[in-house]
Amino acid sequence: MAERPYHPGDEVSPRRHARHERALAEATSIVRTLREAGHIAYFAGGCVRDELLGLEPVDYDIATDARPERVSELFGRTSHVGAHFGVVLVRPERDSASVEVATFRSDGSYSDNRRPDEVTFSTPEEDAARRDFTVNALFMDPLVSRDAPARERVIDYVSGVEDLDAGVIRAVGDPDERLAEDHLRALRAVRFAARLGFRIDEGTQEAIRRHARELSGVSRERIGDEMRKVMADRYRAVAIWQLQYLGLDEPVLGEAKERALPRTLGRLPDDAELGTSFAALALDRGLIELSQVAGLVESWRERLCLSNQERDRFKEVLTGLGLLEGEWPLMGVATQKRAASADWFTEALRLVAARDLENMVRIRRRVDQLIGTPSGLSPRPLVDGDALIAAGHRPGPLFGRVLDAVYDAQLEDLISDRAQAMEHASRLFEQWSRETPGSGGSGG
């Protein structure tokens, strides 16, 4: 899973700080090698933005005038994932992440809305001009002392430093042209603005609105990747509000909906799971009936290329919420205990809390009572399949049912030791095989 994005004001964990230091040292040494070989080389893009904001990026991208073949020659330990875009991955010398080294380029057109059709190697200035937003189009020279003023370390062709200081996301160059080139940039603008607490420049906003519908032409994989990042972010509700405000929700989610405030989403804890965030969004967008869940989940899975695991979680949490807000108070002890120890429970309860805090407190109290029963919430079963077989029961269709029923009796504190459990099992085998002759399993 993607690491949770960091924010201005976040506490940086010692582990993260150490990783940052290693990545910075590694990237700096790559820049030094390139420079000593006579090339231009800078840090580029997101890492420069984050450095200047006082955040500690873990990924450092490098831009250089050295061609991909030359980069491989200089470093050896490379792989050519995107060599036709001029990108070479340099594997680290020490224990740290790989560093992307990209040749300065200007991109051609994006006919399939995915990747530029062709790239032309070019100058730093043109490389800045092909980037999406001014704050993402900065270069930094890591060989200038960190104590030197920013203007001596930063190479800025697009007034990005000004926008960074003012907290503005602004398209590089003509916003209409830049969006027409790649409509995903609309979604990226929303994501960066929410994460950094920036506003989107008016002209860029207008262009986004004008091009909103065309976002549906972008590949589902790319939209899905962006949306995953949006929904994993602590400021997900701000991003979703902005997305709706700019008319991007419909092309992204493929449905016209009344645009309500994303209240539930805004009340989730920062570290809510992705499935929980999607569930909250579905609720905020008017999902009411449990019978609509399967259809909605499937449609978003398709739209956003969610993995099976992500889809299952999304569905499980929504179904769990339905259960907690529906039949929970009427459920028996065993069923409540099973629910409360299911692995969707904590996430579903976070949704309950976001919708109705009192209800969450009621459920929590009940769970505390269940924990206080003699058998507790999820005790080890007194008997298992092997024990039944050892006692002479033949595995068959009744087996699972009997085991479930015996465990229920244990959860309800009707039985409390192994002998009672075995006795209960034998009774059930006898009774049920009489009811359904031929279902087997009796013996003992």
| Dihedral pair phi/psi, residue 233, rounded to 5° | -80, 145
Q: How far is the CB of 92 from ligand ATP (least distance, A)?
A: 18
Task: Give one word for 399, left, alpha or beta, with left for phi > 0 and alpha for psi -120 to 50.
Answer: alpha
Q: How far is the CB of 266 from ligand ATP (least distance, A)?
A: 21
Percent helix / strand / coil, the chain, rounded to 5: 55, 10, 35
Length of the chain in terms of residues written: 444
Which stretch, 180-188, 231-239, 385-393, 407-415, contacts ligand ATP (CB under 6 A)? 180-188
Q: Are 319 and 298 in contact (CB under 8 A)?
A: no
Which stretch, 179-187, 248-256, 259-267, 419-427, contacts ligand ATP (CB under 6 A)? 179-187
From Mg ion, ligand ATP, none, interface partner of 249 (C-beta below 5 to 8 A by class): none
Q: How far is the CB of 45 from ligand ATP (least distance, A)?
A: 3
Q: Are 46 and 57 in contact (CB under 8 A)?
A: yes
Helices 68-75, 14-36: inter-axial angle, 10-degree rounding: 110
Which stretch, 16-24, 132-140, 199-207, 298-306, contacts ligand ATP (CB under 6 A)? 132-140
Q: What is the DSSP letter of 212?
A: G
Interaction between residue 184 and ligand ATP (CB under 6 A) = yes
Interaction between residue 185 and ligand ATP (CB under 6 A) = yes
Which positions from 56 to 85 touch Mg ion by CB under 5 A, shown as an x/- string? ---x--------------------------
Question: Exactly one of 20, 43, 46, 60 binds Mg ion (CB under 5 A); which one?
Answer: 46
Helix (H) or strand (E) run with residue 63 in it: strand 61-64
Interaction between residue 441 and ligand ATP (CB under 6 A) = no
Which stretch, 182-190, 213-221, 264-272, 274-282, contacts ligand ATP (CB under 6 A)? 182-190
From Mg ion, ligand ATP, none, interface partner of 184 (C-beta below 5 to 8 A by class): ligand ATP
- Rounded-to-integer distance, Cα 233 and Cα 188, Å: 13
Q: Are 323 and 248 in contact (CB under 8 A)?
A: no
Interaction between residue 224 and ligand ATP (CB under 6 A) = no
Interface residue list for ligand ATP (CB under 6 A): 45-46, 61, 131-132, 136-137, 182, 184-185
